[in-house]
Amino acid sequence: MSDNLDRRTPKIALSTSSVYPETTSSAFELAGRLGYDGIELMVGIDPVSTDIDAVEKLRDYHELPVVSVHAPCLLISQRTWGTDNWAKLERSAKAAQQLGADVVVVHPPFRWQRDYARDFVPKLRALTERSGVRFCLENMYPWRMPGTELKAYLPAWDPTNLEYDDLTLDFSHASTAGQQSLDLAKAWGDRLGHVHLTDGTGSMKDEHLVPGRGDQHADQALQYLSGAGFAGHVVLEVNSRRSATRAQRELDLAESLAFARTHLEAGAQHHAYEVDSAGVASHT
């Protein structure tokens, strides 16, 4: 079974947003000390995140690769790197190239960004081809209030039936949308290029819980991904503002890393066993 057990499991990275209100610098320090394989840079959370030369120095100092860049497309980062959304994505691609990352995470346009949303899918495909960086569109969720639902994204919050080539699966967003991450992973197939590992309880509010503390059966989803040969990155993106102390934040991030490793390795081992068992059966 040894050859099949050598199948590589995905790298597990820490999003710099997972340490907020601490800084990008703190994320590198914590990720290195806890044993994460890399970093996802969330552009716009703090000033250092927008200075790619400074991030490059952090990467080199901590000897921790940046595997992905999250473009500044949140509500709170609408003015980060200017207000021209396509210029921001171009700049995100250049940041990824400078840092050695192979993925840029991007959200669908907000419904009021109609010019940006026009021909968004083919333009995003062209940007991927031109830059050599994989732009992975993230699943979102409907904005709900008691008795009403707001269409917040164009062309839609669910990319499943749209013609995006590359997708990011966020477990918390799936929970808020009333979906299951495992179902989405199976439906998306090879289009799934990137994972935001987190959790939720189905609340109308996007929760970003520690994986395993919500309704997404994150253990099963990770085992499926690893067993299916998922070759992208798994990035922990949790909301640790609930942590009462820095020590508790560290414990939550360490628990999340252990959770991810345990279930990714279990999926790989199960796949290896099935492959070997099939091989033995074919020769008996």
Domains and CATH numbers, the chain: 2-138+150-282 (3.20.20.150)
Q: pTM of the prediction?
A: 0.92
Inter-residue contact 44 to 76 (CB < 8 Å): yes
Is residue 282 pLDDT above 70, yes or no? no
Percent of the chain with pLDDT over 70: 93
- The pLDDT assigned to 273 comes to 59
DSSP annotation of 199: B
DSSP annotation of 209: B
**Average pLDDT taken over every residue of the chain:** 92
- The pLDDT assigned to 229 comes to 95
pLDDT in tens, 271-280: 765 655 555 4
Is residue 281 pLDDT above 50, yes or no? no
β-bridge pairing 12-15 and 233-236: parallel
Is residue 176 pLDDT above 60, yes or no? yes
∠ Cα 235 246 101 (to 5°): 25
β-bridge pairing 148-150 and 143-145: antiparallel
Inter-residue contact 189 to 228 (CB < 8 Å): no
CA distance 30 to 64: 11
Q: Which residues does 49 contact at the CB level (< 8 Å), separation at least 6?
A: 16, 24, 41, 42, 43, 55
How would residue 167 be classed by pLDDT, with cut points 50, 70 and 90? Answer: very high
pLDDT in tens, 16-41: 999 999 999 999 999 999 999 999 99
Is residue 283 pLDDT above 60, yes or no? no
CA distance 36 to 13: 6
Q: What is the mean pLDDT of residues 60-71?
A: 98
Is residue 68 pLDDT above 50, yes or no? yes
- The pLDDT assigned to 170 comes to 98
Is residue 148 pLDDT above 80, yes or no? no
Is residue 13 pLDDT above 60, yes or no? yes
- The pLDDT assigned to 86 comes to 97
How would residue 76 be classed by pLDDT, with cut points 50, 70 and 90? Answer: confident
How would residue 70 be classed by pLDDT, with cut points 50, 70 and 90? Answer: very high
pLDDT in tens, 208-253: 999 999 999 999 999 999 999 999 999 999 999 888 899 999 999 9
∠ Cα 178 183 186 (to 5°): 155
Q: What is the mean pLDDT of residues 145-166?
A: 89
- The pLDDT assigned to 279 comes to 55
Cis peptide before 155 (omega within 30 of 0): yes
pLDDT in tens, 92-113: 999 999 999 999 999 999 999 9
